[in-house]
Amino acid sequence: MLIVANWKAYVDDFTKAKRLVSTAKRLSRTSKNSMVLAPSGPFIGALAPGNKSTIAFAAQDVSLSTGGAQTGEVTAGMYAVLGATYAIIGHSERRALGDTDSIVAEKLARALAHGLTPILCVGEHERDGEGRYLSIPREQITSALRMLTVKERSKVIIAYEPLWAIGKSAIDAIRPNDLAEIVLYIRKVLAELLPGKSSSRSIILYGGSVEPGNIRELARNGGVNGFLIGHATVDSETFTELVKQLS
């Protein structure tokens, strides 16, 4: 399993940030799971350089800019230089702030151009009984990958994050069988964009109210290759329990 810990803007204390990294490093020594930490941009600059552990770092977003007279922008190239190897692209919170499908596609290309592995976030706001909601992740995936080469498409990780499941308790979040169905659908969409059986090797993550109480069942029966987790990863005890549940 691949566990991506998206700290968002929850962690603004550097002592806590270092403690969370130490926790991840300790867990990585005994866990078979791969761990990626996504701190804020400034903390990546302080934590990622010189990292010799098996944990990796991800940018929470990248700029559309390629550099130059763009005050305040942080480019994919900057993150790569600092030591990030992944980049979260198209997160629902970025889309809510104005990232359209075309912007997400451009950011995806920026990340790939600098050797970052993109984690493309897709998902619907709500579900209907007729399955019309399926058109949303389909369009988000196809519009993001359409302009990429086949080789580039194969590098993209898909993170399914249905907005209706975010912020709920484990018991009210997505059920494993429902997750397995959407993962199968996503693989069918990817099969239209990748040759042969390449889509079967694509990594698909799930994000949306993942807690110690439901992560094991989602992993066993949800058909995913890992998880993109937010708030639950910024508490050392909860993060430890999440990882242990997957052991």
The catalytic site residues sit at 91, 161
- Dihedral over Cα of 89, 90, 96, 101: its sign: positive
Residue 37 and residue 20 in contact, taking contact as beta carbons nearer than 8 Å: yes
Q: Quickly list H helices, the chain.
A: 14-28, 41-47, 76-82, 92-96, 101-113, 135-145, 150-153, 176-191, 215-221, 236-245
Q: Is 29 exposed, middle or buried (0-12, 13-18, 19+ CB in 10 A)?
A: exposed
Neighbour tally for 130: CB within 10 Å? 7
DSSP 190-204: HHTTSSTTGGGGS-E
Give the separation between CA 155 and CA 203, rounded to whole angstroms: 9
Q: Is 4 helix (H, G, I), strand (E, B) or coil?
A: strand
The encoded tokens of residue 96 equal: 């809510």
Residue-wise over 165-180: b if at least 16 C-beta within 10 A, else e? bbeeeeeebbbbeebb
